[in-house]
Amino acid sequence: MKIITTPLLFLPFTTVALQALDENELSNVTGEGLGATFDNVVLYSEDLGSPNDFELNLFLDDQGFGGNYLRFSELRLNKSGAEPGQADSGGQFGTYTDPFFIGLLLDVNESYSSLHDHDGDPGTGFVNMPRSHTALYTGFPAANEVQKERSFFYYSRSDLGGLDDEARYRGNPDGFFSSANNVNVGNFFTLANNFDSYLAEQEAVLDQATDKFDLHLRIDSINDSNRNLDAEDQFLASIDLEGFRLYGTETFIWSHSRKGQEDAGINRAGEIIMADYGLAIATSVGLRADKLTINADPQGLATSALSAEGVDVYLPLGTIDQPMTISTVQFQQQYRGEWLTDGNGNRVASSLAPASTQLRLEIAPLPQQAIQSERGHIYIQQLSFGNTVDADGNRIVDDEVVTGYEDIYLRNSNGEIVETVDDVQHVAFVPKTVTYNEQVKIYNEANPTTPIPYIPNENTLEIKGLEIQRLVITTQDLDLTR
């Protein structure tokens, strides 16, 4: 597998300021890492086929451009909402108090004990103590931020200062959507305002750490069936990430081995389990995005798009106790296409290929003595299939995903109807709360002096408590034929 880029990516507006240090300042440099802030961050390339376009080709075999490969192009990264390629389209990434940080060496300790040689001299014997590693640390802006509870349903179940009535609240009041009468909303909007304030606290921190960015990328798949066709026939998908930024994102990297460790104390079926040899990585990634769109039409038609809005993803991939290791292994692989049968009619391999070195990516089982694996959570406020909105904020929807029509009653904080919107489209996978709030937005823009409150959006998709208990990925040579 090879990667070729052509030409170099055009980076016209990225700037990093460097300043010479005097002797007194140099004496205070400790080598404990480098913090960096970036202003006017922008990556820009023209559309595929234009004079200033960009290509990154990932070859899937050894035939080069005559074989099968993926082409990545139209890479654009700019401040959210700005016009790509313009001089003012750059965004801020990091601050002096919360920079992008790289190069810090830290001692990290596993949380459990194991038998190993603590002083490097096997003759002095093994002791039972936590293993320690010297790790290279990299942290992004807002690396210390943790994921907020994005589901109003779970938020409202929590203990909010002892307010039992609010803590037990479940969703919307009865008849909120369907009743044409006044509805008793109780503490619903008070709790909703608390929920908004709770989320706004982190939003304000992220606003200080980094701007929101938009990302666009095109992917083409080239093979014998479309090699001589035009680019539209080679198009696979485009990916657009709008209003995104990272939080809680940091990485520890170290060399992981069993040197000086008592082999008898390692038992994958017993109490102590160690990850395999290799480069060890403990990383976590938090991503917030207003919208993620995957489009299968080269012209970007909305009818071919799948969109996820209100995305909040936090994923740990390896920890100090259960690192992700990258290593090499040797094994013999069966020759492809050569099969025999045994005396019982079962198919068996005729022969094995010579042992070859392969790449392995592994997250070992969590040691029994260690704490529980760190959990990740994925929230998506709503999914949309081919949906877009017109200038008035009304949805333009494919008929195939319309589930029905219903009047929407817009209510004030007393539960009184202030306006009725007739025959509003309801769409598959879009919660009624989202549809309601879309109409609230239209109403508030038309009545800025007497706005009505929004209601919390229930997430369409929630994946809570995601843990990686075991993962092994080993590469194989797929050309083992004779």
Write down the pLDDT at residue 162. 47
Report the pLDDT averaged over residues 138-147: 95
pLDDT band at 243 (very low <50, low <70, confident <90, very high): very high
**What per-residue confidence (pLDDT) applies to 262?**
41
The pLDDT value recorded for residue 275 is 43
Residue with tokens 């991503």: 287
Q: Which three-class secondary structure state does DSSP give residue 426?
A: strand
Residue 291, SS3 per DSSP: strand
pLDDT mean over 267-290: 70
Average the pLDDT over each of 158-167, 371-380, 439-448 and give the range with the smallest value. 158-167
Q: Is 153 exposed, middle or buried (0-12, 13-18, 19+ CB in 10 A)?
A: middle
Check residue 430 and give its pLDDT. Answer: 87
Average of per-residue pLDDT values in the chain: 81
**Taking 50 as the threshold, does the pLDDT of residue 265 lie above it?**
no
Whole-number Å distance between alpha carbons of 443 and 447: 6
Is the pLDDT assigned to residue 143 strictly greater than 90? yes
Residue 273: what pLDDT?
Answer: 40
The residues, ordered by sequence, that sit 6+ positions from 88 with a Cβ below 8 Å of its Cβ are 82
The Cα 145–Cα 384 span in angstroms is: 29
Q: Which residue has the higher pLDDT, 262 or 479?
A: 479
Neighbours of 363 (CB within 10 A): 22
The percent of residues above 70 in pLDDT, for the chain, comes to 77
Q: How far separated are the first and last CA of the chain, in Å rounded?
A: 21
Number of CB atoms found within 10 A of residue 73's CB: 21
pLDDT interval class at 260 (50, 70, 90): very low
Helix, coil or strand: residue 452: coil
Helix (H) or strand (E) holding 193: helix 188-209
Question: Tokens 């392969």, residue?
Answer: 358
Question: Which residue is listed with tokens 């040691």?
Answer: 367
Do residues 37 and 95 lie in contact, with contact meaning Cβ atoms separated by under 8 Å?
Answer: yes
With CA atoms as reference, report the closest residue to 476 among 315, 335, 272, 339. 335
Can you spell out the DSSP letters for 29-84? Answer: ---S-EEE-EEEE-BB-PPTTSTT--EEEEESSSSGGGS-EEEEEEEEEEETTSPT
Q: Give the Cβ contact number of residue 137 at 10 Å.
A: 20
CB 330 within 8 A of CB 475: no
pLDDT digit string (tens) for 5-54?
443 333 333 334 445 555 555 455 555 678 899 999 999 999 998 988 99
Tell me the mean pLDDT in the region 159-164.
48
pLDDT tier at 248 (50, 70, 90 boundaries)?
Answer: very high
pTM: 0.80
| Closest by Cα among 458, 464, 456 to 200 | 456
Buried b (16+ CB within 10 A) or exposed e, 51-67: eebbbebebeeeeeeee
Tokens of 56: 């990154």
- List all residues 6 or more positions away from 192 whose beta carbon is below 8 Å from its beta carbon: 152, 453, 454, 455, 456
Asked if residues 334 and 353 have their Cβ atoms less than 8 Å apart, the reply is yes
Please list the residues that pair with 308 across neighbouring strands: 292, 383
The span from the CA of 451 to the CA of 240, in Å, is 32
pLDDT 10s digits, 54-69? 999 999 888 889 999 9
The answer, yes or no, to whether residue 454 has pLDDT greater than 50, is yes
> For residue range 105-136, what is the model confidence (pLDDT) as tens digits?
888 888 877 666 555 555 555 666 777 888 99
Reported as type and span, the H/E element at residue 189 is helix 188-209
